[in-house]
Amino acid sequence: MPTDKDFKRLVRARMGRTGEAYTTARAHLRPDRDPTRPGPLRGRHPDTAALTRLLAALGVTDPDGGRPLTEAMALGIAGGIGFAYFVFEYEELTTLYLGGRINSYVQKQDATEAALARLGVAFQARRTTGPATAERQLRAALDQGRPVIATVDMARLAYRAVPDWLCGMTPQDVLVEAGDDGDPLLWDLAPAPIPVTWAELAEARAGVRSARHRLVVAEPPAGPVDLAGAAAAGIADTWAGMFEPPMRNFGVPGLAKWAELLTATGDPKGWPRLLAAPGRQFQLLTWLYDWVETAGTGGGFFRAMYAEFLEEAAGPLGRPELAELAGRYRELAGAWTGLARAAVAGGGPLGRAAELLTAKRRLVEERAGGAAKELAAVQAELAALTTEAADPQPLDDAAIGTLLAGLRKRVLDLAEGEEAAAGSLRAAVPA
């Protein structure tokens, strides 16, 4: 059998003939991957994709069928869906945040860590302020032969083409494994890893203050996991977060609050005032579209993926009504998509921005590191649109008034639908 040194020589010879990247050439020469290494998942949300790959690498499977857990199941076990609404105004920047997953502030714990604990997977979550210690911890974990989860600032990884002004505001989890050439490999959403240098990874890990150098190192479970118990705990988090949030920016109350602000002309936080500033229409309306459709939600603000989870959880929990409830969440997914499309309807710069955001998401999901040039081109056009849309505004006063009234009605309908669906969840799986 060839040694690792011999195999690397074969890989580099193929690279010379084909021009392929190291990881691509290696995959062709070693198609039968080690079952403990990440598989060809095409992820939808960075954190749930990283968790799904980690569980597969640890050998966690459905106790009944012996199959690896799906990303939808990982989403549900980790706490499922929710709602969050925040607008932050700074001197030179206003940001909109819409959250469709359970929020860690509401859940009072990290979703990935909650999922591992519920499944009985022993793990350590490490944080440190020192970059040297952080790299030493990561190298030691990889030397054990298993991938680990690291939190990175995506704005500091060049292949994603995230604008520099978002540095420090784009945390996400990635799975990290050791490459054959000694450098780390990142698994983002695409079904192929992305080679990075240790220096690039160190900068990205240090980029988010709230999760600086965060690392999750887990051990394979000793026996079958309690999938039913884990799924039930995740469902309870979902309905509790919708009904009993710690503040009015979350859950069903958050939806009602947002609906009020969409047409509140006398409120300093109302959207009529927010959208009056030059460039603000384009900025906030395209962000609304992105948060719902293209920011790693799988489309429909996570509701379509959550419907898949309910169908998968119905069997282990012995609750066939969950499969029926999945249909209601698919309807909610369609309503969320309708809201997002309404925000950018009418063509012009808003419509073009939605097309570019969709193209960007597709590139990240399908090719990631192999699409760096295309991603940079998409981001450059988005930046140009932002400049062009700054003055004049895309919509006149009458058009924006009509749009906001329509959005308000849609959000109120969503609040009613989300409340009813969460009530059905609570009836099916009480705390």
> pLDDT tens digits, residue range 98-123?
999 999 999 999 999 999 999 999 99
Q: What average pLDDT does the segment 305-324 reach?
A: 96
pLDDT at 265 exceeding the cut of 90: yes
The pLDDT value recorded for residue 8 is 57
Residue 97 or residue 18, greater confidence: 97
β partners of residue 125: 216
Q: Which residue carries 């690392």 as its tokens?
A: 215
> Nearest CA to 366 among 197, 204, 188?
188
pLDDT at position 206 over 60: yes
Q: Is pLDDT of 51 > 70?
A: yes
pLDDT tens for each residue of 132-174: 999 999 999 999 888 899 999 999 998 888 988 888 888 999 9
Q: What share of the chain is helix, strand, coil (3-state, %, to 5)?
A: 55, 10, 30
Average confidence (pLDDT) over 365-373: 89
Three-class SS state of 84? strand
Say yes or no to pLDDT of 403 above 80: yes
* 3-class SS of residue 61: strand
* Residues sharing a CB contact under 8 Å with residue 197, sequence separation 6 or more, in sequence order: 183
pLDDT > 60? residue 35: no
* Residue 226 tokens, joined: 């309690």
pLDDT confidence tier of residue 210, bands split at 50, 70 and 90: confident
Report whether pLDDT(3) > 80: no
Select from 93, 90, 111, 112 the least CA-distant residue to 102.
111
Rounded CA-CA distance 192/368 in Å is 8
Average pLDDT, the chain: 90
Taking Cα atoms as reference points, which of 208, 214, 199 lies closest to residue 50?
Answer: 214
Secondary structure letter of residue 290 according to DSSP:
I
Q: What is the pLDDT of residue 2?
A: 36
- Looking at residue 321, its pLDDT comes to 96
What pLDDT score was predicted for residue 37? Answer: 46
Give kind and range of the element (H or E) at residue 97.
Answer: strand 94-101
Strands of the 123-126 sheet, one edge to the other: 123-126, 215-218, 148-153, 171-178, 184-187, 194-195
What pLDDT, on the 0 to 100 scale, is given for residue 94? 87
Residue 184 has pLDDT above 90, yes or no: yes
Is the pLDDT confidence value at 34 over 60? Answer: no
Q: In this predicted structure, what is the pLDDT of residue 181?
A: 82
| pLDDT higher at 154 or 181 | 154
The mean pLDDT value for 173-201 works out to: 93
Q: Is the pLDDT of residue 391 over 70?
A: no
In this prediction, residues 357-373 reach a mean pLDDT of: 92
Q: Percentage of the chain with pLDDT > 70?
A: 90
Does 27 or 232 have the greater pLDDT score?
Answer: 232
Strand partners, 217: 124
Instruction: Please write the tens of the pLDDT for every residue from 7-23.
Output: 555 656 655 555 555 54
Sign of the Cα pseudo-torsion (125, 129, 135, 137, in order): negative
Asked whether the beta carbons of 82 and 89 are under 8 A apart, the reply is no
